[in-house]
Structure 1
């Protein structure tokens, strides 16, 4: 059995290959629903247009999806996990400003993801209008109902129906291959389109050929999501299944192109979708059902991927803390209610705004080109500094991929006025949120003053033994951001000693360390004063939601069981009336002091940060603390105090 170093199963079996089919290829696998329709549109059919369009699709999938993502980017796994944040976590120490392009890449991926379910489901459902008498059937309500049901059931988890995804996508790709082959047999000359000359001729000689690359690009938009889903089934399963998936996609694209060529020179599609036109009439209803189910799977993959992306963003301090639920025991399956609602609103808005899939095609893909450029940039650091490839070879690869992606970006800029501006506006909002959170935390941490615990050891030991002070708790636990074992925040010492001193038998300082690996869960202990002052570091992977109180209780049990620190012979605060140990967590929250004086930029970002903080989860909820076992204290944040106050005293006589 092959197993990845992080414990994620990477073996290759029929079952794991089916899982890969069901999870990885939903987005890119449903592209045949709209790619050829987007390229050809209502333009007169010519060999230059059709052969050139198919040639561009083939080489785009080969260079971007196969070479860049399947061969190269999948190597950049963080303990088996993929995606832009995993890649950033691997390379961030090699570049000072990598954080900002990472935010942009993640935000544009989230924004463009909002149009993936609408365009996929709409393209499938619109097949109903191919039936006689249903040509004018409104499909928008059907699409909204399907999407709404899908988002509603997210809270229950997808593990029960997830097992059907693999077989369903196997049927889907088998259907794509079969339908394509039937048409290719009638027009085998379509294989000539694989010659790159046709792609060159299309771009050089066809009117507006460059702008039509926006439609070509739709064939590879799911490549970024493919990398993000790496952790679900491993690189080997993806690389093996991709050979079959790529074959099925290309056969279907060429089959559609063959059908279009058989319409004759200068004919037009006249609103028809070649994806459905290549189906026998008796099979149409089955084709629509299979396509609809495939697009639901594609939508599910996008939704799950968005949850994972936001969860990682929170762990890396790019996103406000929001509630994260685990609807099943399946590892890595999470549900984020606020993001689910946001995505549902975004998807319904897209459906209502664009009305049909043809208009969505005109807006789709602009934002994801930016994500791909960011991935190329981050990947260069991985190849150069981690794999230690020759820097000139890495630079050549970057120039090659970036040239293709910049070309697609410029072609997609034409979509801005057709609706691309919507995804860019949404992306800009996500970027602002991420930057405000990141900047606000950076300022807050910069102003946090740390002190050496050693200076306070004696006074804390004296306080612990001073029975003239009422005991506050047997175990008093503070959450600290101090990375060094001998340090804590000055505000924590003030909390213990100022006003009414907090006497406790043991003072605990617990530091939560988010690691760059996804599933780390470990701890270490430093005894700073015999049985009185203890520092605990809990190392948590960026894909794990903290449950600090649970971890703390487990640590104490381990210490007692191992007879360490004299815990097994010391009173823990339990009594004959209550056998639970007596402990209290103290959480100190910052608030923005009214005594600050800001520039416009500082005021906007810091006020936005604290506004988002009020809307997000509290520290006690995020870190997994029981409300009955905590006390919250507040400390003002002074960034730029007012330098001079002009206050005039008036004479009342």
Structure 2
């Protein structure tokens, strides 16, 4: 955690406001549509409303408060949270933990496609009672498009206003709820868990209702994902205020609904019905801004998630831009426009928030289940007693399993959409990871010390034309005693490459998020030097800049001489030229691979076509880079049967 961000993560008024603005958008806008989803097309009944309030309150208590606020926030990876940060904490405990991490990450990304349309649509549709002919779909498309257009400029300026706006939003919800609670104080009895039990055990639509209730906690993952932006104390304290205002608003909506016992809800939204008529226009305006803020949080979260996946080698290399100096601010153009297209697809497909509710919640339930699995492993790593871990698993797999089964009812009504998106994303992550494992299997390493004499002789051999003064190779060898045989082949055989100094650069992605370290090993003094970068999974891998910084430090300390050895240039102390060599592996022959491996490798190479190149992903200056294609699999002459004809 950088020191300049510490004042935001410690408990403070500014930190509390930032927490309100960044992390509660999704969960904070759920009162817009939760009760509409619970009642649906059924006749309003007092038991349904009391049971619904009880279910909402205990879901927020058990799922959001206990699981996320109390337990999951403890899984702090050097100040960072989120499913990939959690995976980085526990991945050494078992290889199979990659599966829940990838499934959870894909489910969160799929959720990011449907959250902006449903929150913005639910807000804008509040205007329909005033303007029945209002083209809500066009307005929603315009707002969402505008939101994605501004992403490239960064959101730090807008973000400063998020906290106060969300404070007004939550305050408004609490006051509106209270105005109805005073009319019927007995509604507070609905918080009794008995009403939830009674509803779920007697109502024939219990599964459908449970799926609707789940919508009240869909933003819980954001609490953990944005741990690094706000800090644990600020999240925990601000949640007390947020939960109080949410519960008050749900209770107020419950009073209005009970007042209309025996009627059909129709197109009325209880959230807007508890507003005074004179306040409706202002309330809808505040709701729309809150919906945009909620959407912004999901979009920013998606960028962070993809950037982490790229660094963890779970996603193709993408262009990542840092529009501002603010920590955590990044922009991924390709993901931005894919999300935009997905959001517009949701709006075009479902048109209204009522229909979107049918598709919402299924993927996020899957993400929560995956987090439960990873948190249980984290608790085990922290030596928490086994019986407590088993109790934790039993409670939350039961709760989230029930929510998942209830949300499966939504599959045919639109849940298939987010599940399909999630499956496509999973296939990309899995293919990228699997192909990397296959490639690594065919990388042959040799002892670098065996080549010290010949490399030194080649460097001094003036009969060989000089290829570059400083020649730099990116190596995947984890140990400084090894080197890929293909690098030795490139230097000595493919085209003998004489250089004054050979450099080997290795990037090791660390489990800690923000670490920036390097180590220098002089293998042959002033002839062969290896630099090992240890970069956190949230650090930009701008190797060109990092390498230059290290070389400057080495020159300053007198550890290396990069002055050109050409006599005319050396006399004037001119710095020698640098050239990077990137070895690109191609699949030239694959009959040693199984059908599954061939399929994965072909999928991987198709993905490589749309991803940015290795040299661009490492931030190398393309004017100083040579890309050499090398086969992934070399043909073995012993396998070839050939008869010679003698005359």
Are 2:631 and 1:636 equivalent residues in the alignment? yes
SS of structure 2 residue aligned to 1:114: helix
Q: How does 1:135-174 map to 2 (within 5 A)?
A: 135-174=132-171
> Shift in Å at residue 600 of structure 1?
3.2
> Shift in Å at residue 597 of structure 1?
5.6
For residues 435 and 575 of structure 1, what CA distance do their matches in structure 2 show? 51
For residues 632 and 175 of structure 2, what CA distance do their matches in structure 1 show? 65
For residues 404 and 6 of structure 1, what CA distance do their matches in structure 2 show? 36
Question: 1:641 and 1:505, CA in 2 relative to 1: closer, same or farther beyond 3 A?
Answer: closer
2:446–2:483 CA contact under 8 A, matched in 1: yes
Question: In the alignment, what sits opposite 1:455?
Answer: 450
> Shift in Å at residue 566 of structure 1?
5.7
Question: 1:404 and 1:277, CA in 2 relative to 1: closer, same or farther beyond 3 A?
Answer: same
2:105–2:367 CA contact under 8 A, matched in 1: yes
Question: 1:622 and 1:60, CA in 2 relative to 1: closer, same or farther beyond 3 A?
Answer: same
For residues 431 and 516 of structure 2, what CA distance do their matches in structure 1 show? 29
> Shift in Å at residue 49 of structure 1?
0.3
Question: In the alignment, what sits opposite 1:240?
Answer: 237
SS of structure 2 residue aligned to 1:186: coil
SS of structure 2 residue aligned to 1:20: helix
Question: In the alignment, what sits opposite 1:352?
Answer: 348
SS of structure 2 residue aligned to 1:130: coil
For residues 43 and 639 of structure 1, what CA distance do their matches in structure 2 show? 67
1:314–1:321 CA contact under 8 A, matched in 2: yes
> Shift in Å at residue 647 of structure 1?
9.1
1:508–1:533 CA contact under 8 A, matched in 2: yes
TM-score of the pair, normalised by structure 2: 0.96
Question: In the alignment, what sits opposite 2:378?
Answer: 382
> Shift in Å at residue 596 of structure 1?
3.5
Question: In the alignment, what sits opposite 2:11?
Answer: 12
Question: 1:442 and 1:581, CA in 2 relative to 1: closer, same or farther beyond 3 A?
Answer: same
Q: How does 1:520-531 map to 2 (within 5 A)?
A: 520-531=515-526
Question: In the alignment, what sits opposite 2:174?
Answer: 177
Question: In the alignment, what sits opposite 2:54?
Answer: 55
Deviates more, 1:575-584 or 1:359-368: 575-584
User: RMSD of the TM alignment (CA)?
Assistant: 2.2
SS of structure 2 residue aligned to 1:211: helix
2:565–2:576 CA contact under 8 A, matched in 1: no
SS of structure 2 residue aligned to 1:212: helix
Question: 1:239 and 1:620, CA in 2 relative to 1: closer, same or farther beyond 3 A?
Answer: same
SS of structure 2 residue aligned to 1:634: strand
Question: In the alignment, what sits opposite 1:319?
Answer: 315
Q: Which runs of 5+ in 1 are unaligned?
A: none
Deviates more, 1:600-609 or 1:328-337: 600-609
1:447–1:639 CA contact under 8 A, matched in 2: no
Question: 1:135 and 1:648, CA in 2 relative to 1: closer, same or farther beyond 3 A?
Answer: farther
SS of structure 1 residue aligned to 2:359: coil
> Shift in Å at residue 188 of structure 1?
1.2
Question: In the alignment, what sits opposite 2:63?
Answer: 64
> Shift in Å at residue 243 of structure 1?
0.2
Q: How does 1:44-443 map to 2 (within 5 A)?
A: 44-131=43-130, 134-264=131-261, 266-385=262-381, 387-443=382-438
For residues 29 and 522 of structure 2, what CA distance do their matches in structure 1 show? 58
For residues 436 and 430 of structure 1, what CA distance do their matches in structure 2 show? 10
2:563–2:570 CA contact under 8 A, matched in 1: no
> Shift in Å at residue 630 of structure 1?
0.8
1:159-196 per-residue CA deviation (whole Å, 9 max, x = no partner) reads: 11111100000000010001000011111111011100
For residues 567 and 343 of structure 2, what CA distance do their matches in structure 1 show? 53
For residues 429 and 267 of structure 1, what CA distance do their matches in structure 2 show? 43
For residues 276 and 646 of structure 1, what CA distance do their matches in structure 2 show? 80
Question: 1:435 and 1:314, CA in 2 relative to 1: closer, same or farther beyond 3 A?
Answer: same
> Shift in Å at residue 130 of structure 1?
1.7
TM-score of the pair, normalised by structure 1: 0.95
For residues 20 and 102 of structure 2, what CA distance do their matches in structure 1 show? 29
Q: Which runs of 5+ in 2 are unaligned?
A: none
1:475–1:504 CA contact under 8 A, matched in 2: yes
Question: In the alignment, what sits opposite 1:535?
Answer: 530
2:562–2:575 CA contact under 8 A, matched in 1: no
Question: 1:555 and 1:369, CA in 2 relative to 1: closer, same or farther beyond 3 A?
Answer: same
Question: 1:245 and 1:572, CA in 2 relative to 1: closer, same or farther beyond 3 A?
Answer: farther
> Shift in Å at residue 552 of structure 1?
1.2
1:525–1:536 CA contact under 8 A, matched in 2: yes
For residues 186 and 448 of structure 1, what CA distance do their matches in structure 2 show? 74
Question: 1:645 and 1:272, CA in 2 relative to 1: closer, same or farther beyond 3 A?
Answer: farther
Question: In the alignment, what sits opposite 2:487?
Answer: 492
> Shift in Å at residue 602 of structure 1?
1.9
Deviates more, 1:489-498 or 1:599-608: 599-608
For residues 186 and 568 of structure 2, what CA distance do their matches in structure 1 show? 84
Question: 1:570 and 1:53, CA in 2 relative to 1: closer, same or farther beyond 3 A?
Answer: same
For residues 460 and 7 of structure 1, what CA distance do their matches in structure 2 show? 48
> Shift in Å at residue 603 of structure 1?
2.1
For residues 391 and 372 of structure 2, what CA distance do their matches in structure 1 show? 12
> Shift in Å at residue 48 of structure 1?
1.4
SS of structure 2 residue aligned to 1:115: helix
